[in-house]
Every structure is written in C-alpha cells, then in structure tokens.
C-alpha cells in the first residue's frame, strides 16, 4: 500500500503537536488557515521522514501522525480528509495549501474503494522532483544516456540520492514533467520503461 523505508532516527514532532487545540478544527478563519498550514507542514515532514509517497488516511488516523496518545487527542478521518483536501488546492484558491497533496482516484483504503481516502503527499511536487533528476543527470554527465526507470529508482548509482527508492508512479510523474519540457523521452512497456535525458 504505502511505499516506505524504515529510518533509524525517530521523527521529531513540532511543538504544536503537543498543544491540544491543534487537534480541534478552529472556528476563526485566520486561526484555521494557520492550523491547516501547520498540519500540511507536519504531514509533509512525516511522509518525507518515513519515505511515504501515498498516504492512506484510514491507516494514518491510527498512527502517531494523527493520534497523539500522550494527549489522548486525534484527528478523525473526516478532519484528516479536510486537511489533505486543503493541501490539494492551489495557494490562490481560498488560501489553499499549495498543491502539496493529490487525491488518488479509485485507490482503496482498508480493502474498500472510498473517495478521498488515499493521497499522494508532495513534500516535493513532481516538477520539483524533475528538477532534482535533471541536476543529478547533469552532475553525473548522463545526458544522452539511456537509463531504465528501475536504475533510477533502485540502481547503485542513485543510492545516495533522495529519489532512490521512490515510488515508481511518482518517478513516472516526474519523468512526464521532463517529457513535457522536452528534456527527456520515455519509452518501453509499463514496468520496463527506459528514459533518455536531453
């Protein structure tokens, strides 16, 4: 379900995580906007730390991300969905969350197909991942070289890179950005894609 790699260092929660009102939707619009920004930042940091690209809200509401056991406070599924929904909006839309999330249509959570239950969490948007890939290609002198998507995601040459171990779907989204920019060509069958960078 979620693509993640175990990390050895524990996640450090921000101070607001230990503030009980953080878990209650705030009625004042200014305070609510600030609360949503803090939740967005926390979700992005959590997912980055745990190398999670797809977040299932059904699973996450019972995790420490949304459940502070010491305070006995949690975000319920509806509120977690409201936070992620805010993250999907552009900043200019009602003070949206800067498109730091994207709902995965038709994804199932807990074995059931539920709308708005699984989302991509963009601690880096596909456009930002595309820039990271181009920087690595330039730094390693691999323009014009054909690489497989598997080599990019799992290869020995990328072990030290932030995109190593990335969800294949996220890699394909980043590569498609480069195709649209005219900086790469992707070819081959699904699961066996190759890519050439220009």
Angle at 110 (CA atoms; ends 105, 114), nearest 5 degrees: 35
As annotated, the residues of the chain forming the CATH 1.10.10.10 domain(s) are 126-197
CATH 2.40.50.140 holds for 15-121: no
For residue 147, report the phi and psi dihedrals to the nearest 5 degrees: -125, 150
CA–CA distance from 51 to each of 24, 110, 163, 175 (Å)?
27, 20, 10, 19
CA–CA distance from 132 to each of 77, 91, 100, 107 (Å)?
33, 23, 17, 27
User: What is the CATH topology of the domain spanning 126-197?
Assistant: Arc Repressor Mutant, subunit A (1.10.10)
Which pTM value belongs to this model?
Answer: 0.87
The pLDDT, as a whole number, for residue 112 is 59
Task: Of 37, 145, 120, 50, give the one whose Cα is nearest residue 63.
Answer: 50
The pLDDT, as a whole number, for residue 29 is 93
As annotated, the residues of the chain forming the CATH 1.10.10.570 domain(s) are 15-121
* Residues forming beta bridges with residue 187, ordered by sequence position: 194
The pLDDT, as a whole number, for residue 190 is 84
Task: Of 140, 139, 135, 116, give the one whose Cα is nearest residue 178.
Answer: 135
The pLDDT, as a whole number, for residue 191 is 79
For the chain, give the number of residues.
Answer: 198
Helix (H) or strand (E) holding 64: none
Instruction: Count how many Cα atoms sit within 13 Å of the Cα of residue 165 in the half-sphere of its side chain.
Output: 15
Average pLDDT for the chain? 91
Positions in the chain whose pLDDT score sits under 70: 1-7, 93-94, 107-113
């Amino acid at each position: 379900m979620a693509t993640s790699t175990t990390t050895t260092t524990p996640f450090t929660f921000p101070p607001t995580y230990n503030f009980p009102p953080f878990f209650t939707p705030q009625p004042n619009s200014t305070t609510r906007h600030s609360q949503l920004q803090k939740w967005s930042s926390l979700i992005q940091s959590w997912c980055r730390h745990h190398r999670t690209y797809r977040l299932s809200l059904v699973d996450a509401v019972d995790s420490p991300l949304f459940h502070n056991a010491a305070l006995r406070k949690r975000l319920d599924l509806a509120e977690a969905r409201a936070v992620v929904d805010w993250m999907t909006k552009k900043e200019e839309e009602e003070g949206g969350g800067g498109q730091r999330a994207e709902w995965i249509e038709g994804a199932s959570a807990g074995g059931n197909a539920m709308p708005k239950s699984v989302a991509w969490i963009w601690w880096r948007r596909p456009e930002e991942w595309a820039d990271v890939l181009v920087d690595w290609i330039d730094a390693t002198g691999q323009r014009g070289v054909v690489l497989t998507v598997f080599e990019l995601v799992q290869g020995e040459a990328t072990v030290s890179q932030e995109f190593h171990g990335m969800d294949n779907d996220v890699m394909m989204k980043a590569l498609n950005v480069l195709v649209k920019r005219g900086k790469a060509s992707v070819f081959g069958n699904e699961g066996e894609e190759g890519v050439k960078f220009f």
